[in-house]
A and B are shown apart, each in its own frame.
Chain A
């Protein structure tokens, strides 16, 4: 499946799907970042947490990650507004606080293998 020959054999135009997917993802990311600045680690942390809870069936991981990501940002944003009220902390500070340890954990786990 890695070279996509089985997928091609099932009638999926692999090259086009990949290209469109990448284009769509880049445009989406670019728009969001240009409005809100960089908010790191959400995409890294959420799917890993979701997989721990509900297993790795992509049918469930994908929608659950959408919801989980939204929820996580909502909570972080609320917290960022409350911690130093009336000053608003950047959300990215909070997500980095959560994301960096998990990121390190993943790297270390990857090395052990």
Chain B
């Protein structure tokens, strides 16, 4: 078991954003968190790596309580990719190298450079390596952020809408690569998403949030049109196309 979240509540300015959220994630599993806008998906991700501190509840990653760890210890175990990425006057290589920050004590070593180099190659960004972040497109920035989280060598990756600014090819490339990293290293990964079809195609498990609580969670094969209807409030049908479930709005 890589991650175990139990009984998380999070209040913001007195009103409850998350209530009693429970779920587990094993090694080699990719979980998609789904739900309407503003339901608390991002907040949940931030509670898992203690950017937000839950009001009550515990988050256990590899048998250690996240809420009692120092922030650099957390960063060695959990990689986080935010929804928005800001650019700066910083080269792509340096930006990815920042992901090694939690592992570096005084100076950058041979191994750090190698890891960064292979992550950049893995994402097909060698040509951009020396470009500045403020010259990149939104999709390229997103890939930099994902590469930065990968070089942290985390046991758990949290990705907040990782594919929302990517085109079709990049979306497929990134998710295939994420899938490979999860399978090869037996790490856990959680991504929030709006695109149900992409989520169900790449994830092992899905978790639906509704009004800050877990409405349903389980393997992709158990997702029913009833659940989707009740979470999003629109009638849908689920069809199997070439072995993959596809959600089609009914009206």
Is B truly associated with A? yes
Report A's interface with B, CB cutoff 8 A.
1-2, 5-6, 8-13, 55-58
- With both beta carbons as reference points, the residue of chain B lying nearest to A16 in the complex is identified as B71
Interface size class of B (residues with CB under 8 A): 20 to 34
CA distance in complex: A62, B88 (Å)? 16
Do A57 and B89 have beta carbons less than 8 Å apart? Answer: yes
Do A12 and B82 have beta carbons less than 8 Å apart? Answer: no
Comparing B96-104, B110-118, B227-235, the segment that makes contact with chain A is B96-104
Which of B46, B71, B98, B152 lies at the interface centre, i.e. has the most chain A CB atoms within 10 A of its CB?
B71
Do A6 and B71 have beta carbons less than 8 Å apart? Answer: no
Do A8 and B86 have beta carbons less than 8 Å apart? Answer: no
Give 16 A-B pairs besides A9-B51, A58-B89 with Cβ atoms closer than 8 angstroms.
A1-B86, A2-B86, A6-B80, A6-B82, A6-B145, A8-B49, A8-B51, A9-B80, A10-B98, A10-B102, A10-B148, A10-B152, A11-B72, A11-B74, A12-B71, A12-B72
Do A12 and B89 have beta carbons less than 8 Å apart? Answer: no
Do A9 and B89 have beta carbons less than 8 Å apart? Answer: no
Min CB distance, B89 to chain A, in Å? 5
What are 25 residue pairs bridging A and B, where the CB atoms are less than 8 Å apart in the complex?
A1-B82, A1-B85, A2-B86, A6-B80, A6-B82, A6-B85, A6-B145, A8-B80, A9-B49, A9-B78, A9-B79, A9-B80, A10-B75, A10-B98, A10-B102, A10-B152, A11-B72, A11-B73, A11-B75, A11-B76, A11-B101, A12-B72, A13-B70, A13-B71, A58-B89
- With both beta carbons as reference points, the residue of chain A lying nearest to B101 in the complex is identified as A10
> What residues of chain A lie closer than 8 Å to B76, measured between beta carbons?
11
CA distance in complex: A55, B76 (Å)? 33
CA distance in complex: A5, B145 (Å)? 12
> What residues of chain A lie closer than 8 Å to B152, measured between beta carbons?
10
- With both beta carbons as reference points, the residue of chain A lying nearest to B74 in the complex is identified as A11
- With both beta carbons as reference points, the residue of chain B lying nearest to A1 in the complex is identified as B86
CA distance in complex: A13, B74 (Å)? 11
Do B72 and A5 have beta carbons less than 8 Å apart? Answer: no
Min CB distance, B52 to chain A, in Å? 9
Min CB distance, A59 to chain B, in Å? 9
> What residues of chain B lie closer than 8 Å to A5, measured between beta carbons?
46, 51, 80, 82
- With both beta carbons as reference points, the residue of chain B lying nearest to A55 in the complex is identified as B89
Min CB distance, A90 to chain B, in Å? 37
> What residues of chain A lie closer than 8 Å to B72, measured between beta carbons?
11-12
Do A9 and B86 have beta carbons less than 8 Å apart? Answer: no
Min CB distance, A61 to chain B, in Å? 10
0/1 string, B25-41, CB within 8 A of A gives 1: 00000000000000000
